[in-house]
Structure 1
Amino acid sequence: MKKYFILYKPFLFFLATFFLTYIVLTVLYQAYLNSFGENKLDTITRMVVENTDQLFQLFGANFRIEENESQSFIKLIYNQKYVARIIEGCNAISVIILFISFIVAFSGKLKPTLLFIFGGSLLIYLLNVLRIAILSVLMFHFPKQESFLHSVLFPLYIYGVVFILWLIWVRNFSRYASKDIK
């Protein structure tokens, strides 16, 4: 048994670090969400909605948001048509937590690790705002494709970006990065 532990120590260390980071960040995020009470939308989700609105306004699109006071979501209205609703799960924080957990588990030097976490998290946030905007337009034009767009295409997009960021991290910055590959 000890032989296998020594043999797989790097993998076991990665798993332990990944899951510990993931659990700690998830618990902290859940505590943050609980501070808003029932039927109240959190500040991060509101910020995502406001940034989506700003993106539409930048392009002069006929877009508005409408808050639902009795439940915790905001309606997105594009060209006078209700196309989607934003809930807490739309803010990409769970994706960012997954991204950070992997980077921490494969951490390298402190400064590059922190910079990559910050830059990658910001990129995921911005791409999520863009995802919501594009999804809103596509939902207007292709309402029958809602399930495919929301459940297949756009998760593939956002998780694909995270996967590419992970590859960049492991190949170039983690403690396991090969220094002789150019």
Structure 2
Amino acid sequence: MHPDDEAVLMSEVLRDPVVLLVDGPRWKSAAPPTTRNVASVGYHCIIWSPEDLPKLPAEFIPSCNDWYCRAEHATIQFIRCVITGTVITQGRFAIATDQASEKTAANVERRYNLLRRWIKKTCVNSVVRWRNPGIPEAPAGPNRSANPSSPDRSLWVGPSAMNWLTADATRRIKISPETLVEGFTSQRSI
């Protein structure tokens, strides 16, 4: 997702008045600073409701003088996209409710499903193909994958991200800026 897509998506999440955002899994005090403004959180955002878990448990890590969140079971982890030059990194959501109470798990999963429904309604998939520019392009063979790949059905691209990617043929999507493998779309904006 492009930052504009993220802002629209997060406004949907924040319709729930009890949802708070936390900047990252690490913070400088026992209780994390919270916000309802997505622009106030960085790359790693935690989506949390005090109704599910009144306090986010954290463990103090002396070597870095930080507190580390120990409540993955009661939150949604949101890794945000980053645009650097002609590369956009893909954002991701994750939950791990296996250790949560039944009520907490149901609430977190409800929020996560809201995100999934919004993404499937608003975004498109099967538009990005992956390629490794470090190896020759070739069709799939009996012992190797195609380079470039078939369109990726599991990667959903938001409307602003799609416009950004198709506006310039040199723009790419990556899992992280350092990775060699890159995604591209052959669609062009009109």
Give the number of the structure whose alpha-carbon radius of gyration is greater: 1
Q: TM-score, normalised by structure 2?
A: 0.25
Identify the structure with the greater helix proportion. 1
Identify the structure with the greater strand proportion. 2
